[in-house]
Amino acid sequence: MNIITGKDLIWETDKYDVILVGTSIYNLLTQGFQSKMAVKYPELVTANNQTPYADKRKLGKRITVELDNGPTVSLMYICGYPHSERVFLDYDALDNCMGTASAEFKGKRVACPFLGTSRFDGNGDPGRCMDIIKHKSDKIDLTVYDFPQYNRRVEIAQVLSKWNPLKKSDPRKYAELLSHRDEIIAKLYLKH
How does pLDDT run across 172-191, given as a tens digit for each residue? 999 999 899 888 877 776 65
Domains of the chain: 2-148 (3.40.220.10), 153-188 (no CATH)
Confidence at residue 159, expressed as pLDDT on a 0 to 100 scale: 83
pLDDT digits (tens, 9 = 90+) for 149-170: 998 888 888 888 989 899 899 9
DSSP letters along the chain, please?
-EEEES--GGGTGGGSSEEEEEEETT----SHHHHHHHHH-THHHHHHHTSPTT-GGGTT-EEEE--TTS-EEEEEEEESS--TTS--B-HHHHHHHHHHHHHHTTTSEEEEESTT-STTTT---HHHHHHHHHHH-TTSEEEEEE-----HHHHHHHHHHTTTTHHHH-HHHHHHHHHTHHHHHHHHTT--
Can you give the pTM of this predicted structure?
Answer: 0.89
Overall average pLDDT of the 3-17 stretch: 96
Q: Is the pLDDT of residue 96 over 50?
A: yes
Q: How confident is the model at residue 125 (pLDDT cuts 50, 70, 90)?
A: very high
